[in-house]
Structure 1
Amino acid sequence: MALPDFPVEGGCSCGAVRYRLNASPLSVYNCHCKDCQRYSGAAWSMSMIVKDDDFEVLAGETESYDRKADSGNVIAMHFCANCHTWLWNVPPAGSFKVARAGSLDNMDWAAPVGDIWTDSKAAWVQLDSSHVSFAKGATDRTPLFDAWARSHQE
């Protein structure tokens, strides 16, 4: 799938929080950790790694909740202050966010290229063998970045 012309936008369920991605994410992947299963209400959550410089909040207020992830890291989770849609996380290190791909206005182009925390996946989930896969979290995200870049070469 070809990348869209950036910027693209997304937001929460009630429309109060709106954001803009001014460039392609560094990667899109599925996270199968128990926390993502709980927060998304699904077997996994689809995540986009986006540079802080490429992410712009256009409207609305978020509330945050600091949680201890399966990795042991404390991650700030951001939700719409009104409808509580889970929109993005802020990891403890780096200059990026991990945004929820499902919050994009159109996510047709955001096909995932990897899976993380596969040790925690639901037993019935069949992983895509073409994806980069990590049993735990990806401490080095380079393989996810490379897989994303390869998936969009022309």
Structure 2
Amino acid sequence: MADQDGTRNGECRCGQVRFRVHGAPIVTMACHCTGCQRMTASAFSLSVLYPSQAFEVVQGEPVIGGLHGATRHFFCPHCMSWLFTRPEGLDEFVNVRTAMLEDAGEFPPYVEMYTGEKLPWATTSAVHSFETDPSDERFMELVAEFAEWNGSERGRGVSSAG
């Protein structure tokens, strides 16, 4: 649960790496791409996007894993939990893996992406779905919509095509 200033804590499975986020998230997402399926050994990955300045590692030293490319995926060096991602060319953002937050249930996905690659039985409660990823312009619209949605009574189970 968040404290009064919106600070939330997260950690890897073994607890050797801990981090903290401050304030409201920018948007919550589910990604159905085959890369995320393989990195999570699951049907999709869940993430919460924050401004980089709202994120801090408070214990341990995450290591880069995944493809080791321009998009950097960070893991605990001991238990290998996927903790967060710094997207290529977007150093001002960090994409935290939702399940690593102590109150992960409070972050249902607002947007789901790469549904063209999703497993046929995988479903989420995301409000917006995209066959690939939304355009930059559409993404900014989604961010604005999310801020309004996140501040109100969250609708559940409502789906619309992006």
* TM-score for the superposition, normalised by structure 1: 0.86
Count residues in correspondence. Answer: 147
Mark the CA change 1:58 to 1:127 in structure 2 (over 3 Å): closer, same or farther.
Answer: closer
Note if contact 1:46-1:101 (Cα within 8 Å) is conserved in structure 2.
yes
**Equivalent of 1:124, from 121, 126, 148?**
121
Alignment-mate amino acid for residue 145 of structure 2: A
The residue that corresponds to 2:55 in the other structure is: 55
The residue that corresponds to 2:42 in the other structure is: 42
- Measure the CA separation in 2 of the matches of 1:34 and 1:62: 24
The residue that corresponds to 2:156 in the other structure is: none
- Specify which structure has the higher proportion of strand: 1
Q: Show CA shifts across 1:91-120 (max 9, x none).
A: 111210111000001112211111001110
**Equivalent of 1:103, from 94, 100, 104?**
100
Note if contact 1:19-1:57 (Cα within 8 Å) is conserved in structure 2.
yes
The residue that corresponds to 2:143 in the other structure is: 145
The residue that corresponds to 1:10 in the other structure is: 10
Quote the offset at 1:56 in angstroms: 0.8
The CA RMSD measured in Å over matched residues stands at: 2.0
* TM-score for the superposition, normalised by structure 2: 0.82
Q: Which runs of 4+ in 1 moved over 2 A?
A: 65-68, 125-128
Note if contact 1:132-1:143 (Cα within 8 Å) is conserved in structure 2.
no
Structure 2 gaps of 5+ residues are 153-162
Q: Show CA shifts across 1:61-99 (max 9, x none).
A: 11103628xxxx831110001111000111111210111
Higher relative contact order by CA 8 Å / sep ≥ 6: 1 or 2? 1
Q: What percent of counterpart residues are identical? A: 27
Aligned with 1:36: secondary structure? helix
The residue that corresponds to 1:75 in the other structure is: 71
